[in-house]
Structure 1
Amino acid sequence: MVKAYLEIILTIDGLDRAGVTAVYTLYKEPFLQTVKGALSNDLLTHIDDVQVLHGFDSVENAQEYLMSDLFNKDVVTSLRPYLKGLPNIKIYSVT
């Protein structure tokens, strides 16, 4: 059962949605298979931004993912060419 959501909103140019979607697709399964407590991963696309919504079994595991090599070295590095500004990152607890 999902107990926490990690929401990451990325501002991008509309034409870059395909690139961001490709990065999401590349790392979706490794995220679900290797990240402690990962339960779901969804990509919501809009003309101005994309939102990645990660489901976790705890807030602590969501916080740990933000410190992981998968997130910082792989995902962030791959997304960098598409970003317009800093991402908006929030962790929500499910009550």
Structure 2
Amino acid sequence: MQKAYLQITLKVNVSEREAAANVYTTFKEPFLSGIAGALSKELLVRDEDVQVLHGFSSESDAKAYLESDLFNKDVVVGLKDLLQAEPEIRIYSAF
């Protein structure tokens, strides 16, 4: 079965990372239970940035999530005041 990963890289100041992690935590369960094809969601932190790695059943499910209300009305709104730059969004296919 082909899977897909959505990687969103966020530039967040160290002082704002706890708030960004709270957004991640708040919307993890609704993502996993309410988004078609959602398989996993992980928060990756490094000195340079924060990444959220989402696992999906397919690339089309990943693309659909980016158009969803959960992403646009909840996650994006929750993060907008914390970001230092536009998020970098990539979708990968896994075989």
TM-score, normalised relative to structure 2: 0.96
Inter-partner Cα distance in structure 2 for 1:75 and 1:51: 14
Q: Is the 8 A contact 1:14 1:48 kept in 2?
A: no
Identify the residue that residue 78 of structure 1 maps to in structure 2.
78
Q: Are 1:26 and 2:26 counterparts?
A: yes
Q: Are 1:58 and 2:58 counterparts?
A: yes
Q: Is the 8 A contact 1:2 1:56 kept in 2?
A: no
Q: Is the 8 A contact 1:9 1:50 kept in 2?
A: yes
- Larger mean CA deviation between 39-48 and 85-94 belongs to 39-48
Q: Runs in 1 of length 4+ with deviation above 6 angstroms? A: none
Amino acid at match of 2:69: D
**How many residues end up aligned between the 2 structures?**
95
CA drift at 1:47 = 3.0
- Once the two structures are aligned, what percentage of the paired residues are identical? 53
Q: Is the 8 A contact 2:37 2:56 kept in 1?
A: yes
Mind listing any 5+ residue stretches in structure 1 that lack a counterpart? none
| Aligned Cα root-mean-square deviation (Å) | 1.1
Mind listing any 5+ residue stretches in structure 2 that lack a counterpart? none
Residues 32 and 2 of structure 1, relative CA distance in 2, 3 Å threshold: farther
CA drift at 1:2 = 6.8
Identify the residue that residue 39 of structure 1 maps to in structure 2.
39
